[in-house]
Amino acid sequence: MYLDGRHKDHFEVSNKRGKVKDVLNFDGTSNSKKFNLASGRRLK
């Protein structure tokens, strides 16, 4: 899990291979709009 570096308004949760599993708002709710944008990305 890491804090989004650009906007600093959500957390991105990834698996051990770097594939994004979920995007969470600060209150713990899932952010489906940002998840759809991040779903094809891999974290380094």
pLDDT class for 1, splitting at 50, 70, 90?
A: confident
CA pair distance 39, 5, nearest whole angstrom: 16
Q: Structure pTM?
A: 0.73
Tally of CA atoms within 13 A in the half-sphere of 26 that contains its CB: 4
Measured between alpha carbons, how far is 26 from 19 in angstroms, rounded to an integer?
20
Tokens representing residue 3 in the block: 């804090």
Enter the tokens of residue 39: 């779903």
pLDDT in tens, 9-35: 789 998 998 888 999 999 999 999 999
- In DSSP notation, 1-44 reads -EE-TTT-S-EEEE-TTSBEEEEE-TTS-B-HHHHHHHTT-B--
